[in-house]
Amino acid sequence: MSAGLKSKRRPEPSASGAGAKETLNERFVYQDDEAIEKPFNWKQLARLASYMRPYAKQMIPLVIILMLIGTVTKLTVPYLTGMAIDKALGAETGSTNLTLLYQIAAAVLLLFVVQYITGIFRIKYTNIIGQRVIYDLRTDLFRHIQKLSFNFFDKRPAGSVLVRVTNDVNSLQDLFTNGVVNLMIDCVQLFGIVIILLAINFKLGLAVIVTVPIMFLISTALRVRIRRAWQEVRAKNSRINSHLNESIQGIRVTQAYTQEEENMKFFDAMNMDSKKSWDKASAMNQAFGPMIEITGGVGTLILFWLGASLIESNELTIGLLIAFSNYVGNFWEPINRLGMMYNQLLVAMASSERIFEFIDEKPNIADAEAAKKIPAIQGNIQLRDVVFEYEPGRQALKGINLDVKAGQSIALVGHTGSGKSTIINLLSRFYDITSGTITIDGYDIRKVTVDSLRSQIGIVLQDTFIFSGTIRDNIRFGRLDATDEEIEQVAKAVGAHDFIVSMPGGYETEVEERGNMLSMGQRQLLSFARALLADPRILILDEATASIDTETELKIQEALKLLLKGRTSFIVAHRLSTIRHADHIVVLDHGRIMEEGNHHELMTQQGIYYGLIEAQYKFL
């Protein structure tokens, strides 16, 4: 397997059920993804808000106007209701006035209609803004992830990267669509109600307002506990998802080793764990949920108790008390929502921190300041004292010197872990060397632009990745502007045409992601066709180790000959036929070149190479 594509594996499922429980806490947890909420951070909030800037001029003023109209109409209704009771139904005047009642009813109806219509448009526009912001954020993140270097992915499980692009971005969706506008609405509504309450009756207004912070604290504290319990449920479910993902990906290995029962035990333990935390959260919801409702009731109680005495002393009318109680009802709504909003913000803090951490990660393979494009490559390559460490202090290559002339084919051979894949990863600059130099046609590869370098180097990896799409699309990946004829030409040249046309849809056959429906040999031929289409001056090839039937082997050898013709090539070679035909063979051991030469020279030396070839014969 190529070093660049190696991922750090999590431990294998443990062998016993008890072990399953013990490891449950560590497996499927991406350490840095565990934090569900983070403390409030103004800088980060400002950075998030900056994503709304492009839409600020066009849409935000419109949303604010709609919101203000909606809030004013909403706050006018209780006042009109109070007026209807006092003036039209005679609670204050002592005589009924039906005309006034109808007029007030008509006004209230009109206000409702206005509120309804402004609400529809406000929601529509906030959703549009929210979706655009999320789209921008996701695009930024994906564009950036694509640029990150191999060593970034070496350190992270693919699942952890996935979680950021999907879950973390999604968790901000609500904040951007409803959160920001609701926050504004609630603040305006609260401010308006405070003024109105104090204006209607200062004493009563003050009494109600004073209770607010206490109620707010109680309800927020209860809510925090409920939220944490639900977050625990979500975290457990996310572990189940990760396990499920791995189980499905690895189903072949599980079935081949008849590990279904063990896997089931592990899943069961996780499932049970999730169920228990759900039970706990649900019980908490039932116990505390009604208490939050009751806190709102206390305010109303104070209101009627104090209100009644004010009516007795003629300081307040019945209508105004009812209007007052309506306002108090409206008062609780934004306070509760603000509490929820605060929770939402803390969760958003954690998600945005993770997203920005990725966006701020500098790809460590980037163009040098004065980097120029490398001109059309001839293919002369020189490695001088190349030392490379994946991790500081552990040298994977310990001073490699190599001279390759344009058009030569170099076979890299050696025991597993000797540094073969590392060399080919360095040539395309997937990693930067620790010391020494690599030059192509005399250009130091660190001083030319990464794009101009990679676009002239073709790579065929052992794990030939097939993307979901048609066979034609997969070949076209080598050069996007290739015509259909060119695609068929290269497929014919590498000997893939026959099997392609025998498939149900020919070149248009849809292949699943990773190309599961294709055989190893077929995948290999497709990737050769892809590389031939790209027509690079330098070709890097990590030869597949899997044994394939002799007929396919012959086809692959033929295709390989064609592919290598006239190019400088580096092959991590496993097949004897490939090695034998190489112009130059480099034998690596523990990161050093131990032997060099052609097949005959090395065989007569009777050194490491001789031993490797002898060992291969034994297996044949």
Ligand X SMILES: Nc1ncnc2c1ncn2[C@@H]1O[C@H](COP(=O)(O)OP(=O)(O)OP(=O)(O)O)[C@@H](O)[C@H]1O
Chain positions contacting ligand X, by CB under 6 A: 1, 3, 6, 154, 390-391, 396, 414, 416-422
Q: Over 335-350, what HEC string results?
A: HHHHHHHHHHHHHHHH
The smaller minimum CB distance to ligand X, of residues 38 and 584, is found at 584
For the chain, state the CA radius of gyration.
35
Q: Which amino acid is at 576?
A: L
Q: Which amino acid is at 418?
A: S
At its nearest, how many Å lie between ligand X and the CB of residue 595? 15
- Cα separation of 78 and 323, whole Å? 5
The smaller minimum CB distance to ligand X, of residues 534 and 571, is found at 571
Give kind and range of the element (H or E) at residue 552.
helix 550-564
The smaller minimum CB distance to ligand X, of residues 315 and 432, is found at 432
The smaller minimum CB distance to ligand X, of residues 6 and 565, is found at 6
The smaller minimum CB distance to ligand X, of residues 3 and 511, is found at 3
Cβ contacts of 437 within 8 Å, gap of 6 or more: 382, 383, 384, 385, 386, 444
Give the Cβ contact number of residue 364 at 10 Å: 12
At its nearest, how many Å lie between ligand X and the CB of residue 154? 4
The smaller minimum CB distance to ligand X, of residues 1 and 214, is found at 1
At its nearest, how many Å lie between ligand X and the CB of residue 424? 8
The smaller minimum CB distance to ligand X, of residues 154 and 367, is found at 154
At its nearest, how many Å lie between ligand X and the CB of residue 411? 13
The smaller minimum CB distance to ligand X, of residues 196 and 587, is found at 587
Q: Over 584-605, what HEC string results?
A: EEEEEECCEEEEEECHHHHHHH
Question: Would you state the structure tokens that stand for residue 407, as one six-digit string?
Answer: 């058009």
Query: Measured at the alpha carbon of residue 262, what is the angle toward residues 256 and 263, in degrees to the nearest 5?
Result: 75
The smaller minimum CB distance to ligand X, of residues 157 and 414, is found at 414
At its nearest, how many Å lie between ligand X and the CB of residue 419? 4
- DSSP code of 457? E
At its nearest, how many Å lie between ligand X and the CB of residue 6? 5
The smaller minimum CB distance to ligand X, of residues 152 and 230, is found at 152
Cβ contacts of 540 within 8 Å, gap of 6 or more: 424, 427, 428, 457, 458, 459, 460, 569, 570, 571
Give the Cβ contact number of residue 491 at 10 Å: 26
At its nearest, how many Å lie between ligand X and the CB of residue 416? 3
Give kind and range of the element (H or E) at residue 422.
helix 420-427
* Nearest C-alpha neighbor of 411 from the set 601, 606, 618, 576: 576
At its nearest, how many Å lie between ligand X and the CB of residue 571? 12
Q: Over 473-492, what HEC string results?
A: HHHHCCCCCCCHHHHHHHHH
* Nearest C-alpha neighbor of 442 from the set 382, 367, 369: 382
At its nearest, how many Å lie between ligand X and the CB of residue 425? 7
At its nearest, how many Å lie between ligand X and the CB of residue 495? 26
